Amino acid sequence: MSKNIFKHIKITIVKKLILVAVVFICNFLNGQTKIKGTISSDEITFENVEVTLNKSLKSKTDSDGNYLFENIANGSHEITVVFEGFQTQKKRISVKDTSEITLNFELIPEKQKKNELDEIVITGTLKPVSRLESAVPVEVFKPTFFKKNPTVNIFDALQNVNGVRPQLNCNICNTGDIHINGLEGPYTLVLIDGMPIVSGLSTVYGLSGIPNSLLERIEVVKGPASSLYGSEAVGGLINIITKNSKNAPTFSVDGFSTGWGEANLDLGAKANLGNTASVLTGVNYFNYSKPIDNNDDNFTDVTLQDRISVFQKWNFNRKSKKIFSLAGRYFYEDRWGGEMQWRKKHRGGSEVYGESIYTSRYEFIGSYELPVKEKMLFSFSYTNHDQNSVYGNTPYLAKQNIGFGQLTWDKRLKNHDFLFGTAIRYQLYDDNTTATVKEDKTWIPSLFVQDEIHLAEKHSLLLGARYDYNSNHGNIFTPRLAYKWKINNNNILRLNAGTGFRVVNLFTEEHAALTGSRDVIVLEDLKPERSYNANINLLKKWYLKDGSFMSWENAVWMTYFTNSIIPDYDTNPNQIIYKNLDGYAKSSGFSSNLDLIMGNEWKASLGVTYMDVFKNENGIKTRPVLTEKFSGTWSVSYAIPKWFLTIDYTGNLYGPMKLPLLGDLDPRKPYSSTYSIQNIQFTVSKIKNCEIYLGIKNLLDWTPNKGTPFIIARSNDPFDNDVVYDNNGNVVPTQNNPYALTFDPSYVYGPNQGIRSFIGIRYSLY
């Protein structure tokens, strides 16, 4: 009996197994599968979006923005997404087996082109204008661009922008500035919401304190902009545009750490105060407190930092729909670098060498559109920057206040689009150096006008002029011209030309004047720098049949200086000499950018820049230090939707740069080698509104000490106690100083951090 029961059970099990196998084989042969995905725009999902399969089978997204089609047969299928206010999107997909397929859609507003080239920009003309229609070429970078290689601040984030290079100026305290097209950092104007508040002291000491959490987008203009923005906008400008609370998530957090012990946290929160206003708050905290000396010179490879930045922006809702916003930011940083045994008790002493910088800074920005029929906007800002620094036993105590107010009137008359404006800038600067015996107060009132003339359907001409009166240097006039020829929707030619001027503020801009043992020599009164600029830009676009997109942008530029204040490191190795230029200086070159979007998986951006930068005095042509001949950047992204995975490979390449040696006996290389820093990142986004990312920075483990005997000169004697001088003040070679060197940390052209891992998480709640 029991045998029959057992036999019956076996037969039953076999039958069921056969049945399961038959069902599986049938499903496999019929190719039944699922297609699912999420519909979103700028990380916001939408409910009740209509999704159609093969023009017949319809579905709608749920409250989380998800759609689903089941029992899909093998073959080719077309999915269409339609949602009011957004462009209709279609994608084709091939089903070959029973694997579940994930196909996400990123909705694009009707007024925005797929490649985002038609978005609104303001930097080129000081008023909102379509990027395609702008006579001035403007490059736009959104947070998604910088997320491909996460960094702790905007200064570092710019390393992957073609033609833009964050330059470190000191091996010890790691301060730096931003070069555009080979021109030094002081020629780059950095704006926040169009306000020129990153200037002077903050050009060197404040850039690292701008957190990514407040970033809506960055607009970059390469070339002349002095006619609109005044001093410092000679080489170009970078406009950091902060988030509008209307588009920001209710709460967001982004935190990551690296294998070097760095920790960064960004927090954001939004609140609506009824119908009156909305407020956006952002907090950034960064800490690095682990001294590392991998190159064995007894000095920290990377500056230790502890900083916090708090940002808040208010947008007020007016019945007239006119603009009224207020924003403020407070920033504090404590950074130090130096000998590994340095502690706070050594600050300012001669026992152990260290460079310690305390920075306290607050900013206030506002925009108010006047309650009149005409379109008139009043913008204002105020900053207070307090610097308490010591370089070894040399104190540098400085303060800077900048107040700025500007009124613009936007007026259109027939085929003329006018912008009239007046501005006033007040700057107070004081420090404890001999260069500033008393407080330096400067008033600069300005008038400017711009007229964009629509000559014909495809041709427009922009004319502009600015008059400034500098209380220290008198009258300054800067004209501007721009021409745009829209050959067709896929080909645009732009020509820009103008003049520039800049007033040098020596000790706030030249870090080498404060660190090391070189004497600073100013041979004469330094006059304002003046330049003539021109560039030509050609943009070409291709829309391929398979939905892929490609754009290719090429630019040629030239900047000619009739006066330029370039530090001279070569005439005397013990000195840095400053004087007005007796001759001329020139920066010229070309750049090329290629952007590709291939299907739903591949995106790539490639850029290359070639530069020829030199000064010519008395017929002698010389190249400035720390200026590369060529550079390249790239970003390649590959998405695997069914794994919820995105892979980002980013990097840059820099050609040789002339380096500041300390004399003929200095054994270090006079030119840097060509080097590349490359990174890879893996991002998993399986959880709604959440991303986990991890990767490796500096995959090639490149550091500037490779191939050279040392980076910091006389690191074993930072106070030059054992240096011997002759009667003329020149260093004498001795047994313990065979190369006749003094202590100097200015031989720097790239970051000292080698290969390192990182891991982080982002979460946004809408």
Q: What is the mean predicted confidence (pLDDT) over 674-693?
A: 94
User: pLDDT per residue over 617-633, tens digit each?
Assistant: 888 898 888 899 999 99
Count CB-CB contacts under 10 A for residue 679: 24
Of the chain, the end-to-end C-alpha distance in Å amounts to 67
Q: Vertex 163, ends 157 and 167: CA angle to 5°?
A: 55
Q: Which residues fall within 8 angstroms of residue 548, CB to CB, at 6 or more apart?
A: 596, 597, 598, 599
110, two tokens: 């009707």
pLDDT at residue 715 above 90? yes
pLDDT at residue 31 above 70? no
Residues of the chain with CATH 2.60.40.10: 31-106
Residue 47's pLDDT is: 81
User: pLDDT per residue over 501-544, tens digit each?
Assistant: 877 766 555 555 555 556 677 777 778 888 888 999 999 998 87
From 441, 468, 418, select the one nearest 230 (Cα to Cα).
468
User: pLDDT per residue over 290-328, tens digit each?
Assistant: 999 999 999 999 999 999 999 999 999 998 889 999 999
Give the DSSP letter string of 420-475.
Answer: EEEEEEEEEEEESSTT-SS-EEEEEEEEEEEEEEEEETTEEEEEEEEEEEETTTEE
Least confident of 37-51, 160-174, 336-350, 702-716: 37-51
Calculate what percentage of the chain has a pLDDT beyond 70. Answer: 88
Residues 117 and 131: beta-carbon distance below 8 Å = yes
What's this model's pTM, rounded to 2 decimal places? 0.82
pLDDT range class, residue 682, cuts 50, 70, 90:
very high
Q: Who wins on pLDDT, 394 or 502?
A: 394
pLDDT at residue 237 above 60? yes
pLDDT range class, residue 131, cuts 50, 70, 90:
confident
Calculate what percentage of the chain has a pLDDT beyond 90. Answer: 45
Residue 554's pLDDT is: 96
Residues of the chain with CATH 2.170.130.10: 120-240
Cα-only R_g, the chain? 29
pLDDT at residue 113 above 60? no
577/573 Cα distance (integer angstroms): 10
Q: What is the mean predicted confidence (pLDDT) over 148-166?
A: 89
> Distance of alpha carbon 578 from its chain centroid, rounded?
30
Q: What is the mean predicted confidence (pLDDT) over 587-600?
A: 90
User: Could you tell me the fold of the domain covering 31-106?
Assistant: Immunoglobulin-like (2.60.40)
Least confident of 11-25, 334-348, 463-477, 530-544: 11-25
User: pLDDT per residue over 202-218, tens digit each?
Assistant: 766 666 666 676 788 89
Q: Who wins on pLDDT, 537 or 38?
A: 537
Buried b (16+ CB within 10 A) or exposed e, 171-204: bbbbbbbbbbbbbbbbbbbbbbbbbbbbbbbbbb
| The residue to which tokens 């043992």 are assigned | 517
pLDDT at residue 466 above 70? yes
* CATH class assigned to 120-240: mainly beta
Residue 22's pLDDT is: 43
Residue 112's pLDDT is: 47
Mean pLDDT for all residues in the chain: 85
Residue 167's pLDDT is: 85
pLDDT at residue 601 above 50? yes
264/211 Cα distance (integer angstroms): 10
485, two tokens: 């020829």
477/747 Cα distance (integer angstroms): 38
Q: Who wins on pLDDT, 376 or 223?
A: 376
434, two tokens: 């001999």
383/242 Cα distance (integer angstroms): 17
Residue 136's pLDDT is: 86
Residue 575's pLDDT is: 72
Residue 25's pLDDT is: 42
Least confident of 216-225, 319-328, 410-419, 640-649: 216-225
Containing H/E element for 486? strand 474-488
Compute the residue count for the chain: 766
In 274-415 the beta strands, taken as DSSP E runs, fall at 277-288, 304-316, 324-338, 354-369, 375-391, 394-413
Q: What is the mean predicted confidence (pLDDT) over 403-421?
A: 94
Residues of the chain with CATH 2.40.170.20: 241-245+262-436+449-765
Q: What is the mean predicted confidence (pLDDT) over 448-473?
A: 90
509/526 Cα distance (integer angstroms): 14
The CATH code of the domain at 241-245+262-436+449-765 is 2.40.170.20
Q: Who wins on pLDDT, 533 or 545?
A: 533
291/574 Cα distance (integer angstroms): 30
